[in-house]
Structure 1
Amino acid sequence: MPSTAGTQAAAGQDSAAGARRPGGPGRLPRLSRLRDVALVPGIVVIAAAGQLVSPVFLSYDNVINILQTMAEVSLLVLAETLVLVVGRMDLSLESTFGLAPGVAAWLTIGGGHGLGVLPGGLAVPLTLAVGVLVGLLNAVLIVRFGLNGFIVTLGMLIVLRGLLTGISGGQTFFDLPPSMLYLGTETWLGVPASIWVCVVLFTVGVVALGFTRFGRALYAVGGNTDAARAAGINTDRMIQGVLVVASLLAALGGLLLSGRLASVAAAQGNGVIFTVFAAAVIGGVGLNGGRGTVFGAFTGILLLYMIQNVLTLAGVPAQWIGALDGAIILVALVMSRITSGRPQ
């Protein structure tokens, strides 16, 4: 007769296996794959509508413009998707998006309000290092000290935003070193480098979450942390790793934006977290963990930016476009409730 401990471990493994599936326990993989491409028809419809609104919508220059401006924020969407899959939230990503390149600019540019104490060649490593540091701080507070992740990252958002305002004096950093401009201005094979970076990282995310043991473990942790732990998964290490990777992606996204604009504004990233959550939610990523895919999140941010571009070409005032993301989140939540039978 099997021991009680053995029975409990087996049950934990079964529960964790169910939680690994993007669609949740008991859902057919085929239905999960259909949900991944649920926004594709909407993207096609918006593309057709955009072409009717303006003949330039599907032009090469406009499509590249959409993809390039989307690429920077899309890395935040990728980062938040990973965090949401493991059942956590990270609100501080938008501040890391601004602070990481801001610190690099502050330390490397001379004159004005820059210290100029480090060579410009270190700007990119500095940017990424700040992202890793913020992720480690979040991980220590959330995992090691067991603090509420929502409150921790909300506090971190405020702290990081204040730090950027403080080191910049509320001004914009200009005259960035060439290393910070490269990814935002260079083109590879006729396409902006930032788009290639976005495509490569999302491809890695799709493969990692959908086809590896690591990805299955993330879904297990987000679906049922206790069951995942019983199945032998080091849940603390998984959550810590995801928080660090998410902050690193946010820093890289901020670097892409700073390179394209050739500056780092004191308000860089402010409010972008709302767009990030909108894209993740309409892309099918659950707010309760263990649900959603990287491809779905990508279609979510692509759809948002296409809609915004169509409205801009149609002459809709920017202040009305700002109300779009919140409305889309509410509609997506209602539709998710209706179609899945359970809330996000």
Structure 2
Amino acid sequence: MPETVLADTPASQAPVPRPKRTALLGGRVPMARLRDLALVPAIVVIAIVGQIVNPVFLQADNLINVLQTMSEIALLVLAQTMILIVKKMDLSLESTMGLAPGIAAWFVVPAAGHGLGFLSGGWAIPVTLAMGLLIGAVNALLIIRFGLNGFIVTLGMLIVVRGVLTGVSGGQTFFQLPESMLYLGTAQWLGMPVSIWVCLILFAVAIVVLGWTSFGRSLYAIGGNVEAAKAAGIRTDRVLWIVIVTGSLLAALAGLMLSGRLASVASAQGNGYIFTVFAAAVIGGISLNGGKGTMFGAFSGILLLFMIQNVLTLAGVPAQWIGALNGLIILVALTISRITGGKVQE
């Protein structure tokens, strides 16, 4: 029997059911499961354990130190989360974190600091961000325009970028950085390092954008089903370009923050960070299959990992064992987070 349509409601204008707002803070998981808050009990437990292990743990100086050392890699987590939501991934973020400030240092640092010194210090930040944009644009071009596999493209880019940094630095560390490169790592606002403020502000913006804007909804739509997203009128290629390039830009900014805190740019800066980035994202509920997860969950994941690392350090665990224990904790936390989320990761 043909479908009956009311006379005053033309078929072409029949109301389309709107998707329900399904999660706390703009996520895509049912409220009843409270997926966004799944790691909060674990964070509270670690805080209590840390205070028992060493009374220094909950002191303001220690907590600020944890947040500051976390802030740089947290920006990589933010970037990777956006990219994972659209069902892509970027392995080159860690090397971008090194090369972008490395090229800037190479241009502005005098010969005594292993640089060329032909640009003034004021160019450091623009050059750093421009390098991030360039790397992201090349990645996006190869992935979107040429349809190449994102994993292979960004793996190749990681190797290329890491090699370029080693080449321009000669395997040495750039130092005598200009004030412009030190600011984000050394300055304070209201008694707290600028890097922490930058991290918190960017995550807050990301939570709002992903949860409460049409652009954020388009990311989830693309990650869920790109063909359906196209059919719905979403300009998928443009959204993917924005996400991939923004991710590299955030990695460059993270590199600037790390370089400022350390007052140097090492030839190996960022190496190995990508493993922690993926661990934090997945523990925080970000699906590798795209279309699921929230920025609040991702932030909780990286915070939990750094709190655990700090507790182990305060407990006097030998540095040689911290890596292995971190890996074990990641597996345990991932299992627990999946149980509390009510679903095992596919």
TM over 0.5: yes
Q: Aligned partners of 2:133 and 2:116: how far apart in 1?
A: 22
| Matching residue's letter, 1:96 | T
Aligned to 2:43: 43
Aligned to 2:345: 343
Secondary structure of 2:221's partner? helix
Aligned to 1:310: 311
| Matching residue's letter, 1:195 | I
Q: Aligned partners of 1:37 and 1:28: how far apart in 2?
A: 11
Q: Is the 8 A contact 1:127 1:252 kept in 2?
A: yes
Matching of residue 252 in structure 1 with residue 253 in structure 2: yes
| Matching residue's letter, 1:207 | V
| Matching residue's letter, 1:65 | N
Secondary structure of 1:198's partner? helix
Q: Is the 8 A contact 1:186 1:193 kept in 2?
A: yes
Q: Aligned partners of 1:125 and 1:88: how far apart in 2?
A: 27
Aligned to 1:135: 136
More divergent stretch after superposition (327-336 vs 169-178): 327-336
User: What is the count of residue pairs matched by the alignment?
Assistant: 334
Q: CA deviation at 1:31?
A: 3.4
**Correspondence 1:1-344 to 2 at 5 A:** 29-31=30-32, 34-112=34-112, 113-335=114-336, 339-344=341-346
Question: Measured at CA, do residues 138 and 28 of structure 1 come closer, stay the same or move farther in structure 2, by a change above 3 Å?
Answer: closer
Q: Is the 8 A contact 2:23 2:29 kept in 1?
A: no
Secondary structure of 2:111's partner? coil
Q: Aligned partners of 1:254 and 1:221: how far apart in 2?
A: 29
Q: CA deviation at 1:327?
A: 3.0
Q: Is the 8 A contact 2:38 2:337 kept in 1?
A: no
Q: Give the fraction of aligned pairs with identical amino acids, expressed as a percent.
A: 68
Question: Measured at CA, do residues 305 and 248 of structure 1 come closer, stay the same or move farther in structure 2, by a change above 3 Å?
Answer: same
Structural RMSD (CA): 2.5
Q: Aligned partners of 2:19 and 2:90: how far apart in 1?
A: 25
Q: CA deviation at 1:334?
A: 4.2
Q: CA deviation at 1:97?
A: 0.5
Aligned to 2:7: none
Q: Aligned partners of 2:196 and 2:344: how far apart in 1?
A: 35
Q: Aligned partners of 2:334 and 2:307: how far apart in 1?
A: 20
Q: Is the 8 A contact 2:39 2:337 kept in 1?
A: no
Question: Measured at CA, do residues 335 and 313 of structure 1 come closer, stay the same or move farther in structure 2, by a change above 3 Å?
Answer: closer
Q: Is the 8 A contact 1:281 1:329 kept in 2?
A: no
Q: Aligned partners of 1:271 and 1:253: how far apart in 2?
A: 15
Q: Aligned partners of 2:338 and 2:185: how far apart in 1?
A: 39
Q: CA deviation at 1:343?
A: 2.8
What is the TM-score with the length of structure 2 in the denominator? 0.90
| Matching residue's letter, 1:76 | L
| Matching residue's letter, 2:39 | L
| Matching residue's letter, 1:209 | L
Question: Measured at CA, do residues 267 and 194 of structure 1 come closer, stay the same or move farther in structure 2, by a change above 3 Å?
Answer: same
| Matching residue's letter, 1:197 | V
Q: Aligned partners of 1:303 and 1:123: how far apart in 2?
A: 33
Q: CA deviation at 1:118?
A: 1.0
Secondary structure of 1:218's partner? helix
Q: Is the 8 A contact 1:333 1:343 kept in 2?
A: no
Q: Aligned partners of 2:91 and 2:221: how far apart in 1?
A: 23
Q: CA deviation at 1:337?
A: 5.8
Q: CA deviation at 1:319?
A: 2.1
| Matching residue's letter, 1:66 | V
Larger radius of gyration: 2
Q: Aligned partners of 1:219 and 1:189: how far apart in 2?
A: 36
Q: CA deviation at 1:117?
A: 1.3
| Matching residue's letter, 2:241 | Q
Secondary structure of 1:286's partner? coil
Q: Is the 8 A contact 1:285 1:297 kept in 2?
A: yes
| Matching residue's letter, 1:75 | L
